[in-house]
Chains A and B, each alone.
Chain A
Amino acid sequence: MANVKVNKKRKKWSGLEIFCTVCLTLLALAIALPFWNTIVISFTTNSAYVKHPFSLWPKEFTLDNYRNLFRNGAGLLVAYKNTIFVTLIGTLSAMATMVMAAYVFSREFPGKRFFFLASIFTMYFGGGLIPMYLLIKNMHLLNTHAAIILMSLASVYNIIIMKNGFEGVPMDLQEAAMIDGANDLKIFAQVMLPLQKPLIATFSLFTAVGLWNNWYWPMLILNKSEKTLLQLFLKTIIDSASSMSESLSTSEDLTTMIFTMGIQMASVLLVILPIMTVYPFLQKYFVKGMLVGSVKM
């Protein structure tokens, strides 16, 4: 529809342009509508949902799903608190480790090639599930957030990309600082770091999102509810809700029944809310990060 209007304004729209616009509009709708549907369901009552599973606006607006979600105990708040803690501390420590390593790899020093190859090798080959699990267990890190933070302390891939960023800085700058008598620590902290602020910001974003979405190792390591993270909490809600709905499916009274789908969608929304609110504004930084470093593996 929109393109027809534009079509009149700009006399010439080739068939290809119309085709692309139509296809991409459909794709945009296919991606955006499920999110809208999620929001709508989370504010809908069960009876309204059964009648109209898809509506652009909640037919019977309610906050019950959110109330039920919070009534299940402090689980959600604990998970939120833990996730914010892990994301914050994890991002800070990972960025410190990675930026330092990236800078070092942008310089020449004895053994560089060896250390670099040893790092790259781990990108393609690793011990796998059980050795890692045993390691965490032997370090007595089961049921600790420290395990999660330590495991994501560095990513060789990100280090390589940031190293390329450091290499892009003209060597003259460092030479000048060296002549002034600055040592490598000083050069790193006072000359190189300020120059790489955009790159550091971008990778902080990636690291933070990665930690926020982290669920696999947390699922294996964190079994205590007071240690749970948001993604795990969501998984518990989804799993328990599906078994709950099975046992409740015989119940006829739709109005009194707990609306499991509504609770699920409410928790999905709360989990993605932070990313959803900042993403439109930060999208260009994410894209930039992707392009500095080509592909994410």
Chain B
Amino acid sequence: MKENAKVQGSARKKKTILSEIWSARYLYLLLLPFLAWLIVFHYVPMGDIVMAFKDYKARLGIFGSPWVGLKHFERIFVTPDAIESIKNTLSISAGRIIWEFPLPIVLAIMITEMPGTKVKKVYQTIFTFPHFLSWIVVSSIMTSLFSSTGVVNTAIAGFGMEKIQFLGNPKFFRVMLYVTENWKEVGWGAIIYMAAIAGIDPTLYEAASIDGATRLRQIWHITLSCLKPTIAIMFILKIGGIMNAGFDQIFNMRNAVVKASSQILDTYVYDITFLATPNYGFSTAVGLFKAVINFILLTIANQTVGLLTGTKMFSFRREKVKQEKPVKAKAE
């Protein structure tokens, strides 16, 4: 910052704000495409959020439509489908935190502990690959494996057991959501932790082994405790996304049988907007409700984790607007 000011101020010591703006004219020019995009594709639609407080009539336009106050929001809490989708969203997200959040950490530790550099590289390529496929692709592959005529069920039948409707039974479908998400993302999620582990001072391990600590104890006391800040930040992000329970996955994997039990807020908004006569005001209100809760949760989680571990992802104070990178946070 200071160096920059020095450069710009080298010609004249005192500058008016106008001359500062003029001297930065090329910077504004470079920023222009992005700013235009930001305004058109983010801030203009954000203005349309007023729809959530209006009875939208296409004929009257957004601004001509009458105000209805919080009517749409009140409707969320008296619509059984909406309540059900909120409950499903929360329980699926909770399930994800239990069954998905810890696995990349475990995987990262296991990869670090595994001997053989070349094999490790091959494995890592395999582990991270599914991350780059869309849920349409992954769900097709999973359906081919787990449908009633698929590989898994044929194997089960081969062992003389009864076939399982993995994707056609609400109870198993939940489990399949966790299994397939892990299959797709666990390897990619582990990378961040592996980088953090690679940044741990090796003398810590040396000292511990001189003291007679077993490898398992070292993992527990050194690796895991050094991973704490990274885990904290990943956790904040996870909490901040609790109202998104994985639209892409559920949308592509669901079927008529499991539709009700896997209806999350995002799929609910999709269904009421595109599969029924849309009520734009209500749909927008549901979306806004979701975004606000996410934002509040993110803030609470950030503050709580900050208090507990001393690592925050962002701070509202002026000097720390920049987001801390987990890797960097680790190194400090």
Contact = CB atoms under 8 A, between A and B. Distances in A.
B257 interface: no
Interface string A166-199: 0000010011001000011100100000000000
Interface stretch (A64-72, A74-82, A84-92, A264-272): A264-272
Given A108-B5, A159-B34, A238 B27 contact: no
Interface string B23-35: 0101111110111
Contacts of B278: 130
Interface stretch (B39-47, B63-71, B75-83, B92-100): B39-47
B141 A38 contact: yes
Nearest to B3: A171
A113 to B, nearest CB: 7
B151 A37 contact: yes
A4 to B, nearest CB: 14
A235 B136 contact: yes
A122 B284 CA distance: 17
B128 A37 contact: no
A234 to B, nearest CB: 5
A10 B115 CA distance: 11
Interface string B82-107: 00000000000000000000000001
Contacts of A128: 45, 49, 269, 284, 287-288, 290-291
Contacts of B283: 129-130
Contacts of B294: 124
B273 A130 contact: yes
Interface in A237-284: 238, 261, 264-265, 268, 271-272, 275-276, 279-280, 283
B288 to A, nearest CB: 7
Q: Which of A117, A128, A261, A280 has the most CB of B within 10 A?
A: A128
Contact of B284 (A6, A130, A215, A268): A130
B287 A294 contact: no
Interface of A is mostly: helix
Contacts of B37: 97, 150, 153-154
B246 interface: no
A53 B149 contact: yes
Contacts of A185: 26, 29-30
A30 interface: yes
Given A37-B144, A130-B284, A134-B48, A97 B273 contact: no
A129 B30 contact: no
A276 B132 CA distance: 9
Interface string B104-122: 0001001101111000001
B137 interface: yes
Contact of A115 (B29, B31, B126): B31
16 contacts: A6-B116, A16-B113, A97-B34, A98-B34, A101-B31, A122-B46, A129-B270, A130-B273, A131-B44, A135-B44, A184-B24, A220-B274, A231-B137, A264-B144, A283-B124, A290-B191
CB-CB nearest 10 A-B residue pairs: A128-B287, A127-B45, A131-B48, A131-B45, A101-B34, A184-B26, A109-B24, A213-B134, A100-B30, A294-B325
